[in-house]
Amino acid sequence: MRAPVITASLIAAMTINAAAAAQPAGANAPAAADPVTGWSVTAGYETFEFRDISRNMNPPDASPVKWRGEGPVVSARYQHTRPRSSHAADVTFSDFGHFEYVSPSRTIAGAGGDAGSQIEAYYEYRRHFWRDLGVRGFSLGGGIQGIGARLALERHISTAVETSTRIAGGGAAGIVVAQFDRWNRFSAQVAWANGGIVSNRHTEHSADRQSAVSTSGGNWLSDLTVGADYRITPLLHVTGGWRTQAAGYSSSHMSFAAERHSITAGLVYVR
């Protein structure tokens, strides 16, 4: 069985806009230069899919068949923002089910017991380099992420035979961010992250537990997110985002290409 490690940060779905939070109406609002701290919780829908790669050279899409599942995703985030920089910590959990095999010509339902889940955590630092670039409110910045993740997959060959795979590891990614923050209540953001993970994979087969395989490998990831933030009150924001991610993994003759798509919404408490 082949299974991916897909990690990345959930950037835009939990964006806390520092300028909007730092300029609320009211006598007790903080000054624009004051640090802003926020906590957010978001939830939504995510699809997860991968396809086997027959070799490590081009073309990367050697197999046209995807193993695709879907399910809920939830996340919690803490962020501390200053006028020129921000620090954030994030934990995200995804649960996948309803798997199916998708080819260019038809779709076949997977076994009822096919399932997957992933938990990922990261620390992120961003620096805002250019403000009011070209037009008022438009800014560009960049940063880095430290990433940790664990992926669990259960795949059935038949109702009585299954493989179980656990992949866990950590790595880093770089981020480029474009933000538009011209109005007091509303802001929008696009972020792209690219990096890599070093992981340990453990796979077992129900027909022969003694044949379990443990090996190390690595993967690349590329993540694009688009998000928006709207201030309801000085202390409460609503946030939403769309995300698409591509990734690949290679370990001891095992290779795959993977995709991940999600849409989320939630609330941000700011003080």
Can you spell out the DSSP letters for the chain?
-----------GGG---HHHHHS-SSTTPPPTTS-EEEEEEEEEEEEEEEEE-S-SSSPS-----EEEEEEEEEEEEEEEE-SSEEEEEEEEEEEEEEEEEE-SS-EEE--TT-EEEEEEEEEEEEEEEE-S-SSTTEEEEEEEEEEEEEEEEEEESSSS-EEEEEEEEEEEEEEEEEEE--SSSEEEEEEEEEEEEEEEEEEEETTEEEEEEEEEEEEEEEEEEEEEEEEEETTEEEEEEEEEEEEEEEETTEEEEEEEEEEEEEEEEE-
What pLDDT is stored for residue 33 in this prediction? 55
Find the mean pLDDT for residues 186-193.
92
The better pLDDT of the pair 116, 17 is held by 116
The better pLDDT of the pair 214, 176 is held by 176
Task: Find all residues with CB under 8 Å of 236, minimum gap 6, and list them.
Answer: 267, 268, 269, 270
The better pLDDT of the pair 35, 98 is held by 98
Instruction: Say which range, 13-17, 42-46, 83-87, 127-131, has the weakest mean pLDDT.
Output: 13-17
What pLDDT is stored for residue 112 in this prediction? 82
27 C-beta neighbours (distance < 10 Å), count: 4
Q: Is the pLDDT of residue 194 over 60?
A: yes
What pLDDT is stored for residue 258 in this prediction? 81
The better pLDDT of the pair 3, 55 is held by 55
Q: Is the pLDDT of residue 130 over 60?
A: yes
What pLDDT is stored for residue 253 in this prediction? 64
What pLDDT is stored for residue 250 in this prediction? 74
Q: Is the pLDDT of residue 256 over 90?
A: no
Find the mean pLDDT for residues 148-172.
86
What pLDDT is stored for residue 217 in this prediction? 80
List the domain boundaries for the chain.
Answer: 12-270
Confidence class for position 254, pLDDT limits 50, 70, 90: low
Q: Is the pLDDT of residue 61 over 60?
A: no
May I ask the CATH class of domain 12-270?
mainly beta
Q: Is the pLDDT of residue 20 over 70?
A: no
Tell how strand 85-102 and strand 115-130 pair up: antiparallel
Find the mean pLDDT for residues 243-263.
81
